[in-house]
Amino acid sequence: MKPNHQRDVRWVEGLRGITALLIVTGHIFMALDDRLASPARSEDSLPSPFQLPIVRLVISGRASLSIFFLLTGFVNSLSFLKQVRAANQHAALPGLAKSSFRRIGRMMLPAAAATSVSWGLCHLGAYRLAKRGEVAWFRDISPTPKSSFTAAVWDLLRNLWTTWAKSSNEYDQVQWNLFFLLKASLIVYTTLLMTTFVTPRARKICLILYYIYGWMSNDVLIAMNVCPGMFIVELFYDQADAKPTTVSPSLRRAVLILVLVAGMIIAGYPEKNAEWCLWSKYLKVLGAKIFVPGAELSRAWGSVGTSLMLLGILYLPPLQASLSHPFLVWMGKVSFSIFLIHSFLIRSVFCWMLYGYSVPVETTGEDGTIHVGKLPPAKGINLLIICCIFFPLLYFMGYLWTAHVESRCTELAQWLEDRMAGKDTHLDRAAIPK
């Protein structure tokens, strides 16, 4: 009799939604105060609330990015492994082929749309305040408009290409990781294809060997994330077939909570000055011994920590139920849109609110020349009010982007897939992004 693997995985969408939100908060608050990259304000001072272990995940963009790669391994293998475990390889392989082909268009087309919007905003002067402000990161990611329309169009085409050829995009620099996310997806599909006809135990061994290879080759971004994601899918389906355990439920829950908390602490490893606090200092010393020389410890520990977090969530049903809340699931459904649009909305709308009322500081040089300084950002209660306005606006725009842009890109990608598969179809006008 074939095993029944019908399991509720809505919690994955909830986790994805929270992760997208943390990427936005990390970009904003880390940019406003780059000292948050350290575990304390200075070597001799106590950490601020956002610098505390676990809490610092709110501003730790690298840990959030690791979760996206983990979920890439988890989600992309979920349906396939369900079918092959049910000895239904003949249905699994066509689905794998379609998913791998479809993935390219469904990532590239929305990303190209976001780049085009950012390009348009740039040449309409929407990033002017961001370029004049004191926040260095906002200035650095805001491009300068080109001098002519021809040069601007050519630059747009060049950046649409370099996003996927060189993981570089001047109009939306946060898209650098899309190249690696697409590569990670294709690696997942290739790994699944290679292990289609092996047993679950053999597949786990292959994943462990690939993880060790990623660890030794310093592939902290892809291999050390997608391998645990795929391995946890195997554990996910093992649960359905597992026999009742004799371990005390209270002891089991305590151990899992400990794994989850340890993962949250480890994932928040600071990008700078880890030696300033005892907890991060120990991780720095340990990381220097167990990771290969030259490894970026914040990414390496982020991968390890988020893997432990996902493992803890897998075996804690109450936490899964919390992550399955309808609002969090909705956030997960718009998460890719939020990722794509948050950068140009920060550089335009957020910066308009951040600097709109500011007056630049003027200084007079020795020769009497007046120098106009950068615009100071809002702080304190004003910044809180701005965030309370911006984040609902961001998610409203994310909803509109999902409904009217991403959906059209999906339809266009599906039409291209059908055409290339030789199906007799036509492209409806509704399938073309307006």
Q: At what angle do helices 178-194 and 149-165 cross, to 10 degrees?
A: 30
Q: Of 2-16, 85-99, 302-316, which gets the smallest average pLDDT?
A: 2-16
The pLDDT value recorded for residue 398 is: 97
CA angle 247, 252, 253 (to 5 degrees): 145
CA 46 from centroid of its chain's CA atoms: 30
DSSP class of residue 405?
Answer: I
pLDDT digits over 384-411, tens only? 999 999 999 999 999 999 999 999 999 9
| Cβ–Cβ < 8 Å for 318, 88 | no
| Cβ–Cβ < 8 Å for 384, 162 | no
Query: Whole-model pTM?
Result: 0.90
Q: Is the pLDDT of residue 6 over 60?
A: no
pLDDT digits over 135-179, tens only? 989 999 999 999 999 999 999 999 999 999 999 999 999 999 999
**Who's near 329: CB < 8 A, 6+ residues apart?**
10, 13, 14, 17
Q: Which residue has the higher pLDDT, 87 or 6?
A: 87
Residue from 291, 318, 314, 268 nearest 26 by CA: 268
| Cβ–Cβ < 8 Å for 267, 284 | no
Q: Is the pLDDT of residue 240 over 80?
A: no
In angstroms, the CA 103 to CA 342 distance is 22
The pLDDT value recorded for residue 304 is: 97
In angstroms, the CA 72 to CA 232 distance is 12
Residue from 83, 74, 92, 77 nearest 3 by CA: 83
Q: What is residue 414's three-state secondary structure? A: helix
Q: Of 85-99, 237-251, 268-282, 291-305, which gets the smallest average pLDDT?
A: 237-251
Phi and psi at residue 325, to the nearest 5°? -60, 135
Which parts of 174-222 fold into alpha helices (H)?
A: 178-194, 200-216
pLDDT digits over 10-66, tens only? 999 999 999 999 999 999 999 999 899 999 998 888 899 999 999 999 998 899 999
Phi and psi at residue 79, to the nearest 5°? -70, -40
DSSP class of residue 222?
Answer: T
Q: Is the pLDDT of residue 117 over 60?
A: yes
In angstroms, the CA 281 to CA 47 distance is 14
In angstroms, the CA 278 to CA 416 distance is 55
The pLDDT value recorded for residue 433 is: 41
